[in-house]
Amino acid sequence: MLAELKERAQVTIPKSVVNKLGLQAGDQFEVVVRRGEIHLVPVVVYPKAKIEKLEKLAALAESQLASGEARVFDTADDAIASLRSGA
């Protein structure tokens, strides 16, 4: 499959690739060069406020785990059952 570099350094991704990967207008990519090849890696970009909230939740979880406050499950099935029961 060929793609052409346009005058303003734009490349059109073939429709078959867009469909296969479920890409949409506005999706973002990391551009990586490896051994002379260009790789476009789809990425998800989160707002800084969302990342900060997730960091706070992770810190709280680590703190609860270290202090013994966090519930620990023997299996993933046990954790899922707990979530479903609301316990």
Read off the pLDDT of each residue in 54-70 and give the average, rounded to a whole number.
93
Report the candidate in 51, 56, 30 with the shortest Cα–Cα distance to residue 42: 30
The SS3 assignment for 32 reads: strand
Average confidence score pLDDT of the chain: 93
Query: For domain 1-44, is the CATH number 2.10.260.10?
Result: yes
Structure confidence at residue 87 as a pLDDT band (50, 70, 90): low
What is the rounded distance in angstroms from the CA atom of residue 51 to the CA atom of residue 57?
A: 10
pLDDT-based confidence at residue 60 (cuts at 50, 70, 90): very high
Residue ranges per structural domain of the chain = 1-44, 48-85
Question: For the segment 26-41, what is each residue's pLDDT rounded down to a tens digit?
Answer: 999 999 999 999 999 9
The predicted pLDDT at position 1 comes to: 87
Beta strands in 1-87 (DSSP E): 28-34, 37-43
Q: How far apart are CA 20 and CA 57, in angstroms?
A: 35
Which residues is 41 bridged to in the sheet? 30
- Give percent above pLDDT 70 in the chain: 99
